[in-house]
Amino acid sequence: MLSTLLAAFWIMVPAYVPNPVAALCGGGTPVDFGRNYSDGRRLLGEGKTFRGLVCGVLAGVAVGALQIWLAGTWGWTFLPQHTAASIIILPLGALLGDMGKSFVKRRLGKNRGESWPIADQYDLVAGAFILMLVFDPSWLFTYVTWPILIVILILTPILHRAVNIIGYICGVKKEPW
Ligand code: CTP
Ligand code: MG
Report the separation in Å between the CA atom of 168 and the middle of ligand 1, taken as the mean of its atom positions: 13
125-173, pLDDT tens digit by residue? 999 999 999 999 999 999 999 999 999 999 999 999 999 999 999 999 8
32 lines ligand 1 (CB under 6 A): no
pLDDT beyond 90 at 55: yes
Residue 64 contacts by C-beta under 8 Å, 6 or more apart in sequence?
Answer: 13, 14, 82, 86, 87, 88, 90, 91
pLDDT beyond 90 at 2: no
The number of beta carbons lying within 10 Å of the beta carbon of residue 27 is 14
Averaged over 2-19, what is the pLDDT?
97
How far is C-alpha 95 from the geometric centre of its chain's CA atoms?
5
- For residue 36, the 8-state DSSP code is B
DSSP codes of every residue in 105-145: HHHTTPPTT---TTHHHHHHHHHHHHHHHHH-HHHHHHH--
DSSP H helical ranges for 36-79: 50-74
Residue 92's pLDDT band, with cuts at 50, 70 and 90, is very high
Backbone angles phi and psi of 49, in degrees to 5: -120, 160
Ligand nearest to the CA of 48: 1
Q: Name the residue of 31, 48, 105, 177 to mutate for ligand 1: max ligand atoms within 8 A of Cβ.
A: 48
- For residue 46, the 8-state DSSP code is T
